[in-house]
Structure 1
Amino acid sequence: MSSEAEIRKRKIYRVTFVGFVVNLILSLLKLAAGLVGRSGAMIADAVHSFSDLATDVVVIAFARISAKPSDSGHDYGHGKYETLATIIISIALGVVGAGILIDSIERIRVVLDGGLLPRPGAIALVAAVVSIIVKEILYRYTVRVGRQVQSPSVIANAWHHRSDALSSLGTLVGIGCAYFLGSKWRIADPVAALVVAIFIFKIAFDLIRTGIGELLEQSLPADVEDEILRIVTANPEIREPHNLRTRRIGASIAIEVHVRMDGQMTVEHSHDLTVDIERRLRARFGEGTMIAIHVEPLK
């Protein structure tokens, strides 16, 4: 394993382990606050936090696999395992959103049928505030590391942290209305949860769409491919790039392109030109970039 891949793996482990510890402590605190404060919303929020523990385990497990170098059975490495982890986390997000949605609809129905939701205790309010602050800090830390190491699964896990913060925000609004404004306003709790569930579904859908696109060998965005072509043709001796093929493999990308050069130049010189192209592409897109350049003579 290269030193760059080892450093990347360690950063992923560190940020995910920090998230795991924070989620474990926060989940237990919120569960206790929900039980003591008689808040069904806070108990549901605690369950949401417990789901983050499972995604942390997924990220750690798949980071170890995706960091493995290429072997006889995986010529392009194991980067797709990280994409698979992203999809698993996204599905977990969707399941959490569905649970919040169902629970909020049931509680709204109770109120509409003339029922009365219980008044939560002040400890539930405090737990909601603490959860929002802690999870937003954890989101910012995790997403920064995820972008730094170009890890889609870490970024997906960061959004799982933010979904928990948003869930706690909805819980805070609902608990606050129920606690300060009286029984008539207790329906605000499930209504806020309903809005949060929709937002979580949107995040999950976007992440799943991106992950599936990578598994199905979707090309890189058009602006990225245009940039690749500009880098390839920066040297005037290289002409007419064509048959460009791109795809993402975990944190790395793969580039295949055909170029035309003067048919009278030596093989050694054409080789030097292709090596220079590879150097510039890796300087822009990372040392793990997989590059294949096919040289053709100018017609």
Structure 2
Amino acid sequence: MALFLVTTKLWAVIQTQSTAMLGSLADTGLDLVASLATLAGVWIAAQPADAEHRFGHGKAEALSAMFQVVLISLSAAGLAFRAVMQLIAGEQVASADEGILVSAVAFVATLVLLWWQRRVLARTGSLAIATDHLHYKSDLALNLAVIAALVLDRYLNVPGADPLFGLAIAGWLGWGAWRAAGEAIDHLMDREWPEERRAAFLEVLARHPELRGVHDLRTRTSGADDFVQFHASVDGQMTVAEAHRLMDELEERIEAEFPGVEVLIHPDPDGLVNEEGTAAEELLPGASPQRSG
């Protein structure tokens, strides 16, 4: 799709000499490079864990997303510079019909691509695809902006319409890059799950009658993979075999509610005093923190 759009927009830029159209071409050209980066990132992330990457390769998707962010940012900066130069020179587009036609075709083609990406996201939850999807969603507004710029500049003779729309498109691209960077950085920095998801996870644990409490809960997401580890407070009189059986039951409940999550559980006897001389904090819903000297 990106190859098709690059070809048609390149022809339209040659015909119209429009800054807004040039911005659309630059954006689509970066879409092509970003799509290749997404393909590489998703392929690497899908590789199973190995001896050198025991937690898998999921962060390759975040790296791919960051690469896309850099490309989008460079595109926005270059477009803004071109628009300012056109404003200073007072240039007007040479033609509009070709640009309007190509932008209309690109709008429809992008809708088809977004529909397909939504299907893929529903099945995979891929961060790299999500970043690519965000970029293509901005393309819808981008194509409409190009059409508006060409109509205003060529047919309504509004001074500076084309470069001003070019600046607006550059700002839109920059904002999209900022948003995409935030999520990618969260994955690379192992940010905790959102509070709502952590609470839902603890709700699942709280349903087990033999679990006394949970502490040191840690969560993170790497690509399409989720990881959780925590300490589980159990009856101190349990045998090792009984505690193991309880851990297996907790893992089964977690898998039912959070499919695919990799879990590491450390059982602790209830009331265990930590190195600071205080009891572990209980995190199960409805339980208040308990501390003892």
- Give your verdict on TM over 0.5: yes
CA displacement at 1:248 relative to structure 2: 1.0
Query: Aligned partners of 1:122, 1:169: CA distance in 2, in Å?
Result: 14
| Deviation sequence 1:12-54 (CA, Å, 0-9, x none) | xxxxxxxxxx110111011112223443432332232111111
| Deviation sequence 1:70-94 (CA, Å, 0-9, x none) | 1111111111111111111122121
**Residues 1:106 and 2:78 are matched in the alignment:** no
2:152 aligned partner, one-letter code: C
Instruction: List runs of 5+ in structure 2 lacking aligned partners.
Output: 272-293
Say if 1:99 and 1:280 are closer, same or farther in 2 by CA, change over 3 A.
Answer: farther
2:110 alignment partner, one of 124, 128, 135 = 135
Query: Aligned partners of 2:63, 2:257: CA distance in 1, in Å?
Result: 26
2:209 alignment partner, one of 228, 232, 236 = 236
Question: What is aligned with 1:51?
Answer: 30
**Residues 1:70 and 2:42 are matched in the alignment:** no
Query: Aligned partners of 2:140, 2:58: CA distance in 1, in Å?
Result: 29
Question: What is aligned with 2:241?
Answer: 268
Instruction: List runs of 5+ in structure 1 lacking aligned partners.
Output: 1-21
Percent identical pairs in the alignment equals: 26
Query: Aligned partners of 1:31, 1:123: CA distance in 2, in Å?
Result: 11
> Is the 1:140–1:158 contact (alpha carbons within 8 Å) kept by the matching residues of 2?
no
**Residues 1:41 and 2:20 are matched in the alignment:** yes
CA displacement at 1:204 relative to structure 2: 0.9
| Deviation sequence 1:173-194 (CA, Å, 0-9, x none) | 1001123212xx1412222222
TM-score if structure 1 supplies the norm length?
0.85
Query: Aligned partners of 1:83, 1:284: CA distance in 2, in Å?
Result: 25
Question: What is aligned with 2:264?
Answer: 292
**Residues 1:223 and 2:196 are matched in the alignment:** yes
> Is the 1:261–1:298 contact (alpha carbons within 8 Å) kept by the matching residues of 2?
yes
List aligned pairs for 1:1-299, cutoff 5 A.
Answer: 22-110=1-89, 115-182=90-157, 185-287=158-260, 289-299=261-271
Question: What is aligned with 1:7?
Answer: none
Of Structure 1 and Structure 2, which has the larger fraction of its residues in helix?
Answer: 1
Query: Aligned partners of 1:216, 1:108: CA distance in 2, in Å?
Result: 42
> Is the 1:51–1:92 contact (alpha carbons within 8 Å) kept by the matching residues of 2?
yes
What CA RMSD, in Å, does the superposition of the two structures yield over aligned residues? 1.8
Say if 1:37 and 1:119 are closer, same or farther in 2 by CA, change over 3 A.
Answer: closer
Query: Aligned partners of 2:245, 2:259: CA distance in 1, in Å?
Result: 20
**Any idea what SS the aligned residue of 1:189 has?**
helix
| Deviation sequence 1:70-125 (CA, Å, 0-9, x none) | 11111111111111111111221212222222222222222xxxx34134231211
How many residue pairs get matched?
Answer: 271
Say if 1:172 and 1:234 are closer, same or farther in 2 by CA, change over 3 A.
Answer: same
Say if 1:224 and 1:153 are closer, same or farther in 2 by CA, change over 3 A.
Answer: same
Query: Aligned partners of 1:52, 1:268: CA distance in 2, in Å?
Result: 55
Which stretches of structure 1, 4 residues or more, deviate above 4 A after TM superposition?
none
